[in-house]
């Protein structure tokens, strides 16, 4: 594959002056996302039917082409059959909410086994969960609602594909369409929940709404638990390139790997679409900063204009660099993985490749390569957050249907 498009790609980067130096995970961040939160999520989710660790794939041919020591790709395409890492967070938060509400209504605690067995459905049927989504988070919430027997409504904006809406409806949830962008759907869901006594299960946190987004982030750390176990005896990554969005994923990964590896934690680089760069702008301003999305990015799951306060609290101290990416790099990165020329054939959706595209561009641009320390000893890790969650979009960008790739 030619990397010429990466050599010339317009990239903005902001080096975080507030990032903590080599140090253990700050005690103050335990209240944002602590070890106990991560352990509780792992103990619960790993007992769910269908749980299986996802692969951490080495891409040796790509590493050689980029003149770095290693490239590792955490492939979330098979997670719980939902095609995305989001399966971990939304469904777990639904479970936590139901436990809390049943305890509030009856005064009795219920176990995970009781909820998953259906023995509490007379109670859960009266608890309606809702969320706003670009696709994958809503699918996870809908799946959790189906598993635990509660009604579910999913708010989607006009930029969400009909294929992703259909995937949610297949799980029994009602889709409610909203004019505007993702942030408009977040506000609409919150307003309707307040009016109707429904419960928002969001992957973004804001003032007065922290507990369930913390559960969502804790669910995401199943991925990092698997990574930590796999790399326990091997060399650790030196660099991690992470998708931005609202910052929940990046904050969870940064927090958990920092907890586990302390002073040996890698350099974290958050990568966002240039059309939805709320984390980049927040880093520049030194405070949470919203951006207006006037044009949708092809990376639909990252089209977010407002940061999650929990994610931001971790990233403002733990993330080294904030980068923005042009949409033109998405299709070539997806095709690179599909072709197998990176060292393995991988089906990756459009939001899955932001971190990898950012890493390739950084390695190919001399000044940025030097600034980020991407030399022959660099060990890069990325998280491929989704597979082909919309096969039609995948076929448009890659040129073949996902079923034909493998």
What pairing do the DSSP bridges indicate for beta strands 267-273 and 379-384?
unpaired
Domain boundaries, the chain: 4-84+212-404, 86-209
The domain defined by 4-84+212-404 folds into Rossmann fold (3.40.50)
Distance of alpha carbon 276 from alpha carbon 299, whole angstroms: 10
Distance of alpha carbon 307 from alpha carbon 189, whole angstroms: 17
Whether the predicted pLDDT of 1 surpasses 70: no
Contact status, residue 325 vs residue 359, Cβ threshold 8 Å: no
Q: Which pLDDT score, from 0 to 100, does residue 133 have?
A: 86
* Average pLDDT over the chain, rounded to an integer: 94
What pairing do the DSSP bridges indicate for beta strands 56-58 and 70-75?
antiparallel
Q: What is the mean pLDDT of residues 379-405?
A: 95
Please give the share of the chain, as a percent, with pLDDT higher than 70.
Answer: 100
134 is catalytic: yes
Q: Which pLDDT score, from 0 to 100, does residue 164 have?
A: 86
Confidence of residue 386 (pLDDT cuts 50, 70, 90): very high
Report the interhelical angle of 211-230 vs 86-106 (nearest 10°).
Answer: 130
> What tokens does 129 get?
């969960």
Confidence of residue 8 (pLDDT cuts 50, 70, 90): confident
Distance of alpha carbon 110 from alpha carbon 119, whole angstroms: 10
Nearest 10 degrees: CA dihedral of 327, 346, 352, 376? -80
Contact status, residue 193 vs residue 130, Cβ threshold 8 Å: yes
Whether the predicted pLDDT of 388 surpasses 70: yes
The residue annotated as part of the active site, out of 74, 75, 86, 153, is 86
The residue annotated as part of the active site, out of 75, 134, 277, 321, is 134
Q: Three-state SS string across the chain, please?
A: CCCHHHHCCCCEEEECCCCCCCCCCCHHHHHCCCHHHHHHHHHHHCCCCCCCCCCEEECHHHHHHHCCCEEEEEECCCHHHCCECHHHHHHHHHHHHHHHHHHHHHCCCCCHHHHHHCCCHHHHCCCCEEEEECCHHHHHHHHHHHHHCCCEEEEEECCCCHHHHHHHHCCCCEEEEECCCHHHHHHHHHHHHHHHCCEECCCCCECCECHHHHHHHHHHHHHHHHHHHHCCCCCCCCEEEEECCCCHHHHHHHHHHHHHHHHHCCEEEEEEECCCCHHHHHHHHCCCCCCCCCCCCCCHHHCCCCCCHHHHHHHHHHCCEEEEECHHHHHHHHHHHHHCCCCCCCCCCCCCCHHHHHHHHHHHCHHHHHHHCCCCCCEEEEEECECCCCHHHHHHHHCCCHHHCC
pLDDT digit string, tens, across residues 251-276: 999 999 999 999 999 999 999 999 99
Distance of alpha carbon 404 from alpha carbon 406, whole angstroms: 6
Do the domains at 4-84+212-404 and 86-209 have one common CATH topology? yes
pLDDT digit string, tens, across residues 199-240: 999 988 999 999 999 999 999 999 999 999 999 888 999 999
CA distances from residue 125 to 119, 150, 166, 206 in whole angstroms, order as listed: 11, 5, 23, 27
Q: What is the mean pLDDT of residues 327-332?
A: 96
Q: Which pLDDT score, from 0 to 100, does residue 197 have?
A: 95
Q: Which pLDDT score, from 0 to 100, does residue 264 have?
A: 95
Contact status, residue 79 vs residue 383, Cβ threshold 8 Å: no
Distance of alpha carbon 372 from alpha carbon 392, whole angstroms: 36
75 is catalytic: no
pLDDT digit string, tens, across residues 128-162: 999 998 778 899 999 999 999 999 999 998 888 88
Neighbours of 377 (CB within 10 A): 11
The domain defined by 86-209 folds into Rossmann fold (3.40.50)
């Amino acid at each position: 594959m030619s990397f010429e498009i990466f050599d010339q790609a317009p990239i903005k980067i902001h080096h975080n002056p507030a990032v903590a130096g080599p140090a253990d995970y700050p005690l103050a961040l335990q209240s944002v996302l602590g070890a106990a939160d991560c352990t509780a999520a792992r103990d619960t989710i790993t007992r769910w039917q269908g749980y299986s660790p996802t692969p951490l794939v080495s891409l040796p041919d790509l590493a050689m082409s980029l003149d770095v020591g290693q490239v590792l790709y955490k492939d979330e395409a098979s997670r719980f059959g939902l095609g995305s890492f989001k399966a971990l967070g939304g469904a777990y938060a639904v479970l936590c909410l139901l436990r809390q509400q049943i305890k509030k209504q009856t005064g009795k605690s219920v176990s995970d086994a009781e909820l998953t067995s259906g023995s509490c459905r007379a109670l859960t049927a009266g608890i309606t969960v809702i969320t706003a989504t670009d696709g994958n988070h809503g699918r996870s919430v809908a799946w959790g609602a189906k598993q635990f027997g509660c009604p579910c409504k999913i708010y989607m904006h006009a930029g969400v594909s009909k294929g992703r809406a259909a995937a949610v409806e297949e799980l029994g949830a009602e889709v409610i369409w909203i004019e505007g962008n993702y942030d408009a759907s977040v506000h609409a869901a919150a307003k309707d929940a307040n009016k109707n006594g429904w419960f928002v299960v969001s992957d973004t946190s804001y003032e007065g709404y922290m507990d369930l987004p913390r559960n969502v982030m804790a669910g995401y750390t199943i991925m990092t638990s698997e990574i930590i176990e796999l790399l326990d005896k091997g060399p650790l990554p030196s660099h991690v390139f992470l998708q931005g969005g609202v910052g929940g994923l990046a904050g969870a990964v940064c927090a958990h790997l920092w907890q586990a590896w302390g002073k040996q934690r890698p350099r974290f680089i958050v990568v966002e679409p240039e059309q939805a760069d709320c984390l980049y702008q927040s880093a520049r301003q030194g405070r949470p900063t919203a951006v207006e999305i006037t044009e949708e990015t092809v990376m639909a799951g990252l089209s977010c204009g407002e940061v999650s306060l929990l994610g931001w609290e971790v990233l403002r101290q733990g993330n080294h660099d904030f980068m923005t990416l042009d949409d033109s790099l998405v299709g070539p990165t997806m095709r690179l993985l599909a072709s197998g020329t990176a060292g393995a054939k991988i089906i990756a959706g459009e939001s899955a490749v932001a971190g990898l595209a950012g890493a390739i561009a950084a390695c190919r641009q001399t000044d940025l390569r030097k600034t980020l320390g991407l030399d022959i000893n660099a060990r890069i890790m990325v998280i491929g957050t989704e597979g082909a969650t919309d096969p039609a979009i995948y076929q448009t960008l890659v040129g073949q249907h996902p079923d034909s790739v493998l």
